[in-house]
Structure 1
Amino acid sequence: MSSKASLITRDFSDLTKETDNIYESLVIIGKRARQISVKLKDELNSKLAEFATTVDNLEEIHENREQIEISKFYERLPKPTTQAMEEFIEGKVFFTKGTEEN
């Protein structure tokens, strides 16, 4: 088990610095987290597709160490929400505000 804390206290001002609105910031972070999640899922699926087999050989499926290592690597990556939050706080997320039409 990891000794890293699973919860991190964030400074409210870091989240509202760019938008002046916590809800707007959270929407932006959420959208970025979805982008990261889709990208990681696509990467993982393409790497695991190399191991796809039409033969039902249980020994081959059970003993594929390389496939297991790839899966473990992706499991150890920071969660997309954590990555998105860090990117937002560091000013690495580009976003535009929609205009309101009256």
Structure 2
Amino acid sequence: MSTQVSKSVVPNSTVTRDLRELDEKTGNIYESIVVIGKRANQISVDLKEELNGKLAEFATTNDNLEEVFENREQIEISKHYERLPKPTLVAVDDFLNDKVYFRNPSKEQAAD
């Protein structure tokens, strides 16, 4: 799954949500929360891997004090990731806008 986050779409702060809106898709608020939580974990892992990959380019075996203070690019990359919306906010937005595929195998077996 792609974790490309557009700052204009997802709010960067907490938004009050209507619980009835969250449980419409699953019929159960707790199931909705589990789906959102799992999606948030996926997004978080993807962002962490992406950030670590970018920061690995700056890794050196010989760190001297001058190199540590002069690495502005590394600081800018870190600040960019800090400004992104939190994975939980992105996951809620994905869930509400039908960007997440989920299924419940136990419900599928009960229906058969």
* TM-score for both structures, normalised by structure 1: 0.89
- Aligned to 1:97, which of 79, 97, 104? 104
Distance in 2 (CA, whole Å) between partners of 1:45 and 1:27 is 27
The number of aligned residues is 99
Q: Which has the higher contact order (CA 8 A, sep 6+)?
A: 2
Partner of residue 31, structure 1? 38
The 3-state SS of whatever aligns with 1:26 is: helix
Higher mean displacement: 59-68 or 39-48: 59-68
Match for 2:14: what amino acid? L
Tell me, yes or no, if the aligned pair for 2:12 and 2:85 is still in contact at 8 Å. Answer: no
For structure 1, the 5+ residue unaligned runs are none
Secondary structure, aligned partner of 2:105: coil
TM-score (norm 2): 0.82
Matched residue, 2:68: 61
Partner of 2:24: 17
Kindly indicate whether residue 104 of structure 2 is the aligned counterpart of residue 81 of structure 1.
no
User: Identity over the aligned pairs, expressed in percent?
Assistant: 63
Could you say what the CA RMSD is over the residues aligned between the two structures, in angstroms?
Answer: 1.8
